[in-house]
Homo-oligomer: A and B are copies of this chain.
Amino acid sequence: MTVTVAVDTTGADLGPAEVAEGAKLAASRADVRIVLFGPAAELRAVVDGVPGIGVVDAPLSIAKAPDPALAVRQNPDASIVRAIRAVSAGDADTFVVAGATGPALAAGLMNVRRAKGIHRPALALPLPTLGDPVTLVDVGANVEARPDHLVQFGFMGAALARTVLGVRRPRVALLSNGEEPTKGTADVVEVHRLLRDRLAGHPHIEWVGNVEGNDIASGRADVIVTDGFTGNVTLKVMEGVSQAVVSGVRQAATSNPRSMLGGLLLKPSLNRFKSSIDPEASGGAYLLGLRSLGVVPHGRFSREGFARAIVLAAQGHEGRVTDLIHADLEAVGALRRPPAAAARDAGAPAV
């Protein structure tokens, strides 16, 4: 059955039309139905007559709202709220929200809601590296998270890697300040123990153990688990350092005539290198742990990145990523249980 993707277009730096161009590309590449939410006239100018793409007029954007949860509650007509409600109403299977992580998380929690047995949804971001992408989870949905939450993040990331990124047997690791199981905060040490026990002899996930910050770019793991605070700092540090090094190389290549000639000769190879670590290739950040999958491409993406986000959202839905997370967590007893059941097992009277 064809997957339907609800797409909010109003958070893109290049404007809603760029997202519409991405939708056109996606429709030409995959068997997918797309509904675009945003300023209808602008969107129709791009996609009018393209089969499989519908438009809903929802010009109000809350992508840059300072308090996303408040903005979602106060603006039921905002493009992002309407796109996500299309999913909770059953009119679409999955959603793509360009450039608005906070509102996507807030609207997703309020409307699509947490999947059964999930403590907290998380944001998983496949990071471009010289080799295959490495998925960091959580990159900011939960600034504070308990060990049980981080265990679930590991399984969420693994399910994403299998269904969307094509990793047959994902290698899952925990970010810490040393490889030894005793390294890290008390919570990190506890998560290490829990993940190790739950992944021992696992049929389709491999436990790597702790990795350090420099292992993210080295490709020792496919999925790296961390709390949303550390994950967000890590992500921003990576962006900052990459930009600094690239700008340093660019300065070097324009510092004198000899270097300029060198830079010119080197340019095609450098461009190939640059496109091999393209952040748009993986479609953006994946919102996992809700009843439906959501994808949040970065606001500064081009049509190519938005197309990838739409195609991969459909692929994740077809691969039943949400069911897979549930089944994997159930198999190792890591689902959140209703408080009454947990209390009963602990010998306390059920209330």
Contacts and interface: CB of A to CB of B under 8 A. Distances in A.
Contacts of A253: 266, 269
Chain A: number of interface residues, binned into ranges: 35 or more
B266 A229 contact: no
Interface string A259-286: 1011111111110110011000000000
Contact of A249 (B235, B251, B268, B273): B273
Contact of A234 (B226, B234, B267): B234
Contact of A270 (B241, B249, B268): B249
Interface in A265-311: 265-270, 272-273, 276-277
Given A262-B264, A273-B252, A214 B240 contact: yes
A276 B230 CA distance: 29
Nearest to A188: B229
Mostly, the A contact residues are helix
Interface string A14-56: 0000000000000000000000000000000000000000000
A217 B243 contact: yes
Nearest to A232: B177
A140 interface: yes
A214 B238 CA distance: 7
22 contacts: A130-B248, A143-B177, A185-B229, A212-B236, A213-B238, A213-B240, A214-B237, A216-B241, A218-B240, A233-B234, A238-B241, A241-B245, A248-B273, A248-B276, A248-B277, A251-B273, A252-B272, A262-B262, A262-B263, A262-B264, A262-B265, A265-B265
